[in-house]
Structure 1
Amino acid sequence: MTALGFLYPGHAAEDDYPRTEQLLGSDIRVDLVHTDIGEDAHRVDALREMGSPERLADGLQQLRLSGAETVVWACTSGSFVHGWEGAHEQVRNLARAAGMPASSTSFAFVHALREVGARRVAVGATYPDDVAELFAGFLRAGGVEVAGVRGAGIITAAEVGTWGEEEVLALARAADTPDADVLLLPDTALHTIAHVPALEKELGKPVLTANQVTVWEGLRLADRRVNAPGLGALFTREPIVQVRT
């Protein structure tokens, strides 16, 4: 049994995690602990505070007791708002405090893109435009070419958590660009796990979503690979992207 630990801010789309555990269909346990988010706002100052060491500390203690072998800060905006170097420092602090390998959803996207061999991405973000552009900047710092960014202007994770398949598909269609190898949906407050197959069929390309890549990152830290096509192209063993030249 491999036990993966996740620190998830507040309550929005946390049911994506037990759903993912079921779809993995293997000896994988997904342990999720909620952290206190403070103010629910897609605003830089609030997002920085959300990912502070103090707010993550209590959750880390619970994960240690659960027997988790790895920990991922399951929040994209609460990591990339610190910038490339700041997000690295956040993860280093998390690993030291947890005593186990650690990462965050922002780095999960970069690592997953390397896994699928993608060079150009389109971004469909629920965030306001200024926050969405910070994510694009983080990706560029990681060597990713961003073909386009579409923000939805939503301020709270609570509102994002109410979106269903229709809204998710609409955002994906609006954000996709013909020259993008992959579409990214970077908010862990957005329910996506049930929609990944439909998204990939609709767009005809891999789609990477926040909760999907977060669990994949936990598996990567644990040196586990699981073939689970129900979780999208990222979880298949075949080559995924034909890189354009």
Structure 2
Amino acid sequence: MDVSFVGGPTPQRGVGIVAPFDFALDRELWRWVPDDVSLHVTRTPFVPVEVSLDLARLVSEHETLTEAVRALSAVSPEVVAYACTSGSFVGGGVGERAMAAAMSRAGEMPALTTSGALLHALHELGVRRIAVVTPYTKSVTDSLEEYLAEGGMEVCGRSYLGLTREIWRVSYREVVRMAHEATEGSPDALFISCTNLPTFDMIPQLEAELRMPVLSANQVTIWDALRRIGKEAVGPYQALLDPAARRGPAAMGGVPDPAQPPAPPAFAGSAFAADPDTAVSEAGETPFPDEPLGPA
């Protein structure tokens, strides 16, 4: 078929992504991206250190980030994001802002980090009390809590796995279990930390079950990067992305969209209609696969 008359491929907007060397979820990032945007992904150099505060500091050194951004500059992205939660909160709020500034100078473009994007998302939703789920050790999870507290957030529940490697192998079922454990204190929202933890498919279901917004590291990173260039992230019925979702199950936990009038409970007549405790499948299990996303 002769396609020469078309004049070339559709013009693309570019988003640069700097990821840690062990990042395994490139395809998950793409699922939030509209068709006219391309992600340009590069990785930090390998270091033989397990997931820890030490690793978070190593992969977020300014020299490492600026070299990665300069490499991305060759394809002229409009914005660049550092897609690493622990690497961007390990230095606290001052450290996070310094990383973003260093990246912006290196590429002469807007820059952001996952942890900075998280605070922007929480403010967007009007959240003050948050529960966190992490795959990290206690020390790394404590550092996340400190960062959130510095940003004006109260952490009122948490659950963590204590992993130091191969986080991308964690199953949806395990994350769902931790989500329910962490939110027993009725927070305003839940944050699932780590860009190497698969979350895309579980967010709508968890929002329906927990009756609150559910944010994840990859979700907030792409959401913030796209809005910097006037684009919107795509995804099925997620409170951060869809105002209608804020008036549905996610609003029932006390964080409705202030610009909209109250709405009746969503999913009337369904398994989620009246009782949050019924928000499971008829078989009594959360309908997520046992196997994780990402490479084997």
TM-score norm. by structure 2 comes to 0.75
Distance 2:54 2:135 in 1: 18
1:154 paired with 2:160, answer: no
1:180 and 2:191 matched = no
- Contact 1:41-1:47 at 8 Å conserved across structures: no
The counterpart of 1:3, out of the listed 14, 31, 38, is 14
**Of 100, 104, 123, which aligns to 1:95?**
104
Give the deviation of 1:105 after TM superposition.
0.3
Q: Which residue does the alignment assign to 2:227?
A: 220
Is the contact between residue 20 and residue 43 of structure 2 (CA under 8 Å) also seen in structure 1? yes
**Bigger fraction of residues in helix:** 1
The residue number in structure 1 matching 2:80 is 71
Q: What does residue range 38-49 of structure 1 map to in structure 2 within 5 Å? A: 38-49=47-58
Aligned to 1:68, the other structure's residue is in SS state coil
Deviates more, 1:173-182 or 1:75-84: 173-182
Q: 2:127 is paired with a residue of what secondary structure?
A: coil
Question: Per-residue CA shift, 1:40-65, capped at 9, x if unaligned?
Answer: 42221221011112322342133212
**2:24 corresponds to 1:15:** no
Give me the whole-angstrom Cα distance separating, in 2, the residues matched to 1:38 and 1:103: 23
Q: Secondary structure at the match of 1:15?
A: helix
**Would you say the 8 A contact 1:126–1:153 is kept in 2?**
yes
1:197 paired residue number = 204
Q: Distance in 1 between matches of 2:47 and 2:83?
A: 16
Query: Which of the residues 82, 86, 93 maps onto 2:91?
Result: 82
Larger CA Rg, structure 1 vs 2: 2
Q: What residue number does 1:27 align with? A: 36
CA contact (8 A) 1:8 1:14 kept: no
CA contact (8 A) 2:16 2:39 kept: yes
Q: How many residues are treated as equivalent by the alignment? A: 238
The residue identity in structure 2 corresponding to 1:111 is H
Distance 1:172 1:239 in 2: 19
What amino acid sits opposite 2:229 in the alignment? A
SS at structure 1 position matched to 2:31:
helix
How far is the alpha carbon of 1:202 from its aligned partner? 2.5
Distance 1:54 1:116, change over 3 A: same
What corresponds to 1:233 in structure 2?
239
- Change over 3 Å in CA distance of 1:37–1:120 after alignment to 2: farther
Q: Percent identity?
A: 33
Letter of the 1:236 counterpart: D
Q: CA deviation at 1:30?
A: 2.3
Matched with 1:104 is: 113
- Report if aligned partners of 1:120, 1:144 keep a CA contact under 8 Å in 2: yes
Measure the CA separation in 1 of the matches of 2:227 and 2:149: 22
- 1:161/1:190 contact within 8 Å kept: yes
In structure 2, the CA distance between the partners of 1:143 and 1:102, relative to structure 1 (3 Å rule), is same
Secondary structure of 2:120's aligned partner: helix
CA distance in 2 between counterparts of 1:111 and 1:38 reads 30
- Deviations along 1:39-98, whole A, 9 cap, x unmatched? 342221221011112322342133212221001100010011111111211111111111
Cα distance between partner residues in 1 of 2:13 and 2:188: 32
1:78-136 per-residue CA deviation (whole Å, 9 max, x = no partner) reads 01111111121111111111111111000111000011111210001111111101111
Unaligned runs of 5+ in 1: none
**Equivalent residue letter for 2:124:** E
Please tell me whether residue 124 in structure 1 is matched to residue 128 in structure 2. Answer: no
Number of the residue aligned with 1:145: 154
2:94 match: secondary structure: helix
2:95 and 2:71 map into 1 onto residues whose CA distance is 25
Q: In 2, distance between residues paired with 1:144 and 1:238?
A: 25
Q: Taking structure 1 as reference, are residues 204 and 187 closer, same or farther at Cα in structure 2, changes over 3 Å only?
A: same
